Amino acid sequence: MTGSALLLVGLAAIFAAGLLAVLLLVTMRPTASGVSRSLAMIDQMTGAGVVAAHPEAAGHTTPIPFAATMRALATRLSPSTFGQSMRRRLDVAGNPRGMTPDQLLAAKGLGLIVGLVFGLLIGARQGPLGLALSLAAFGAVGFFLPDVLVYNTGLKRQDQLRRTLPDALDMLTISVEAGLGFDAALSQVARNTTGPLAGEFYRVLKEMQIGKSRVAAFGDLRERTTVEELNTFVTALVQADKQGIPVANVLREQSREMRLKRLQRAEEAAAKVPVKILFPLVLCIFPVMFIVIVGPGAIQIVRAFSGRL
């Protein structure tokens, strides 16, 4: 077997081992305790199937020496305030697959090791400078790749929240005006809608069922999102609850405002279309059209002049 074949086999084996380790870290199931156990009991009683992961639902996972080593490595390379920002990003992303900050740190450490190994294999024949650059590049990619994936998941989730909020708010307004209480209307909306917003509403209901006040539960919801419209809705709802304003009036005004903002976003997106298609039109479509239309004529002109010469 040649050296190139051995290198390819080694790269494939390392990639497979890294992928298997990441899957084990991501799919590692935590043991429930405290608030998480209460949430699980309420979930079984209400039959809710879509609930956003609770920050305290992580509990204590079974210690794995390898995962602990990777987590310690990533912790040493991260700033001291990284834990709070990482928990915030996981909440914004909806805690994908029940991932905890410790598991994300372990994935970052594992990504760093896998990246360094790849950099060592690829830059081994490129001299000291090439080796150093390869190690730095692949190590940085492996270390920051989990952060990029979580950030991308958070962006997609917040966009889904923004898109589904007006319809959910309309349903909530109709339910309250039909005579349901706010909590019952919120449960009705969460039961008859899908997506991350339904999970957030379920989580708010469960937190209120285990003793948290409505103001505190919706305040936590505001901290878990970056959607401006949802933050405005929560702020108006909290102020109405504190000042004794009828909830139906607040919901009606908020629903009208959400529909107006959705219309404005659609008009803004439509206004951006001509600018966005300008560069593909000029760089890709116009040259092809020019070749198809002018090309045959140019060939005939060249042949005519060449015949006379």
Q: Look at the block and give the residue holding tokens 């209400």.
A: 46
Q: What is the pLDDT of residues 29-67, one digit of tens each?
A: 444 444 444 444 444 444 434 444 444 434 444 446 767
74: nearest Cα among 55, 100, 102: 102
Tokens of 60: 């204590």
pLDDT digits (tens, 9 = 90+) for 176-210: 888 888 888 888 888 888 888 888 888 888 988 88
Give the domain ranges of the chain.
3-159, 161-262
pTM score = 0.65
Q: What is the pLDDT of residues 123-166, one digit of tens each?
A: 777 777 878 888 888 888 888 888 888 889 888 988 888 888 88
Pick the CATH number of 161-262 from 1.10.12, 1.20.81, 1.10.8, 1.10.760: 1.20.81
CA distance 119 to 141: 10
pLDDT of residue 201: 87
d(CA 197, CA 182): 16
Residue labelled with tokens 């991932």: 99
The two structure tokens encoding residue 202? 């379920």
